[in-house]
Structure 1
Amino acid sequence: RYSRRTDKYGFERDFKLYRADKHQLSEQLDELAKTPSGRQRYMQVNPMWNYYKAKVKATLSSDEGKAIYRRRKFDVEPVFGHMKRDFGIRRTHLRGQRAVENDIGLALIALNLTKFGQSISRLATNFINNLKSGL
């Protein structure tokens, strides 16, 4: 059986539903086919999701995909890690590409200003230490 669901944003998703048979070959299989409350077990599969998941996996498994993913660890991930740790930004609270870009842009500006302040602090500390040591 097929099922179609619409999420709160109006996007429709198609699922294939698999249901356990009502009558099994043995008593043990009959128990496994039912939930603790006594309903028949079922499973939903989204074929489009599985297709795109397999496509991404194949792309990342290629030599070019591995090279790109290897660079990502050094280029992208630390920035988002700092945003999450230092500023508590786990998600954006806005909708729409332009609004999200502005929100993330402000967070990145704040991150860059923080780094800039830390580097100035380090320079000032080194300068003061050099003055004290007589250099």
Structure 2
Amino acid sequence: MDNNYNNNNQGGYVQDPYNNGGGFEPQGSKGMSIASMVLGICAVVFGCCITAYVGLPCGVAGLVLGILSRKKDLPGKGMAIAGIVCSIVALALSVLGIIIALVVGDSLKEWAESLQNASALFIK
């Protein structure tokens, strides 16, 4: 039997010689941070290039997941921050795109009606 190991027995319990004093703490999952970042990127792409109506929900979901990940102090801090930033940018672009679509759409409708009225004068 190893005397050094037995001599380190203090207080009536046996110490683990491999324990460095830090215990093992599970780090948790980076899933929420990854989801925030992916949704933020998708929101930017959909909000700018395809349609703001798809970018808006993706941006909101990415923002919520990123904020929850940071509040719970989960791993993946950089991805969560990237998701928050991308989601905020996407939300701003989506709202701006919807406003522009409403204004331009209404103007285009009036312009098309004026063209129809003008062409009706020439056809008679």
Larger radius of gyration: 2
> Normalized per residue, which structure has more strand?
1
Interval containing the TM-score (normalised by the shorter chain): 0.3 to 0.5
Give the TM-score normalised by the residue count of structure 2.
Answer: 0.33
| Structure having greater relative contact order (Cα 8 Å, sep ≥ 6) | 2
TM-score (norm 1): 0.31
